[in-house]
Chain A
């Protein structure tokens, strides 16, 4: 979707499922020639604003894609771009947790003393 509609996609992208949240982290999206020109002119903030406007315009498409793949309703979509380091994060809050994901925490257990020989 990003390649199709922005003209350039990220170098790295990873998606995580956390309870009822889906987080997509995209790194190294690179800059289009237009963005580079704006950055060189010290207008980095406008680049961030432009990327955020783009994400807002794409919100409906993103939501539909997530809803189709997860079979869950998206209750909220948050998106933020950051320049230097170049990272964009999309967060989808869905109406219930996804199956097949969870967390296991392993704590150092206090071992009981070995049984004394009889």
Chain B
């Protein structure tokens, strides 16, 4: 079962945005996550067990974990860990255009660079998109609690 999350906190489920409408905040993150997982499932044969997307200034970071296919499991057990990593890296590079087009479509911004890394044990992949500008609707809030003098 896949646990697809946005980078935001728990939020009420919302209907998808009408075609052409710019998604913002948690809805944008959830849509990027879902579309990325769908692309991986379609082209790799199995999607990640967990996926989450974050926005950091002009960087979009998608963190994917879990989901070895049977072939990878067999190779790992046979001590071919490096070959599994190489295969995954090759796949991510092949998918670069599809991923970038999807992110550009959803954000309305241009992808300047795509970076992708994979790790086994723990099974993690990170897809990163450097955008040509900051995405609206994201920021940071710092709460400082003053010490109680009383």
Q: A-side interface residues toward B, CB under 8 Å?
A: 14, 16, 18-19, 21, 23, 25, 75-80, 82, 85, 87, 89, 91, 93, 102-105, 107
Contacts and interface: CB of A to CB of B under 8 A. Distances in A.
Contact of B54 (A18, A80, A104): A18
Contacts of A21: 63
A93 B128 contact: no
A79 B7 CA distance: 21
A58 to B, nearest CB: 15
Interface in B105-136: 112-113, 115-119, 122, 124, 126, 128, 130
B48 to A, nearest CB: 14
Given A82-B113, A87-B130, A89-B59, 14 more contacts: A14-B56, A14-B57, A16-B56, A18-B54, A19-B52, A76-B124, A80-B128, A87-B113, A87-B115, A103-B7, A103-B8, A104-B9, A105-B11, A107-B25
Given A21-B63, A93-B124, A82 B130 contact: yes
Contacts of A25: 56-57, 59
A79 B57 contact: no
A21 B116 CA distance: 16
Contacts of A102: 9
22 contacts: A14-B56, A14-B57, A16-B54, A16-B56, A18-B7, A18-B61, A23-B61, A25-B57, A76-B119, A76-B124, A78-B124, A79-B117, A80-B116, A87-B130, A91-B61, A93-B119, A93-B122, A103-B9, A104-B141, A105-B9, A105-B25, A107-B25
Contact of B56 (A23, A78, A104, A107): A23
A15 B11 CA distance: 26
Nearest to B120: A76
Nearest to B65: A93
Contacts of A77: 119
B26 A89 contact: no
Given A16-B56, A18-B54, A75-B122, A89 B63 contact: no
Contacts of B57: 14, 25
A88 to B, nearest CB: 9
Contacts of A18: 7, 54, 56, 61, 63
A8 B54 CA distance: 29
Nearest to B25: A105
